[in-house]
Chain A
Amino acid sequence: DIVMTQSPDSLAVSLGERATINCKSSQSVLYSSNNKNYLAWYQQKPGQPPNLLIYWASTRESGVPDRFSGSGSGTDFTLTISSLQAEDVALYYCQQYYDTQWTFGQGTKVEIK
């Protein structure tokens, strides 16, 4: 299985400031034939199911605010919230789908400082 490791486990950011979450895969999730990174990001608020934010590492899902962006390639990826809003307090997960066995990171908790 591809192991996904997120850092940090939690972070506190002031409103309006940038939040950055990292995700590292144990092997590359870049498929060379189509140059796509098989990496997604989800947001999960308490008591709710996860919500897809980003797929193909950097494609924003419809309806997701543009303050959310994804970047990276190969084994190292980043989710950035450019200006943290109160409603962004949540858990964030990365997920690889390069392998037939899909796996998630352990999650990163984002709070307001």
Chain B
Amino acid sequence: QVQLQESGPGLVKPSETLSLTCSVAGGSISNSYWSWVRQPAGKGLEWIGRIHSSGSTLYKPSLKSRATMSVDTSKNQFSLELTSVTAADSAVYYCTRPPGGWGFMDVWGKGTTVTVSS
């Protein structure tokens, strides 16, 4: 049973870079797609982007200029970096697994809360 766990700073200053890592347990990160979704407090879900273990990526257009995803197969982890953050980037960030890359997400991490504030 694959489990996901997000990690990273809970507080990021405006204009700085948000960096999160998702650790994959109970399975290999290889030959699979992985994704990030965020949810501002009290609001709905926003898909950020996805990455294949080969490194190919696809981002939400409105975030494309600021988001970078990467995979470290040796550590069974994948990561998200979001540059030039503002308060609007404050949210719970979830890493997820979309099996086969289809788009529905069957495994979610518990989420990590990121607050952008000085």
CA distance A42 to B39 in the complex (A): 14
Give the distance to chain B from A46, nearest Cβ to Cβ, in Å: 11
Give the distance to chain B from A59, nearest Cβ to Cβ, in Å: 9
- List of B residues within 8 angstroms of A104 by Cβ: 44-47
- Is A61 a contact partner of B106 (Cβ separation < 8 A)? yes
Interface residues on B, range: 10 to 19
Contacting chain B: which of A10-18, A19-27, A48-56, A79-87?
A: A48-56
- Is A38 a contact partner of B44 (Cβ separation < 8 A)? no
Q: Please, how many residues of chain A have a CB less than 8 angstroms from a CB on the other chain?
A: 25
Given contacts A95-B103, A100-B58, 13 further A-B contacts (CB under 8 A): A38-B103, A40-B103, A40-B104, A42-B45, A48-B110, A49-B111, A50-B105, A51-B108, A55-B102, A93-B45, A98-B103, A103-B47, A106-B44
Interface residues of A (CB under 8 A from B): 1, 38, 40, 42, 48-52, 55-56, 61, 93, 95-98, 100-107
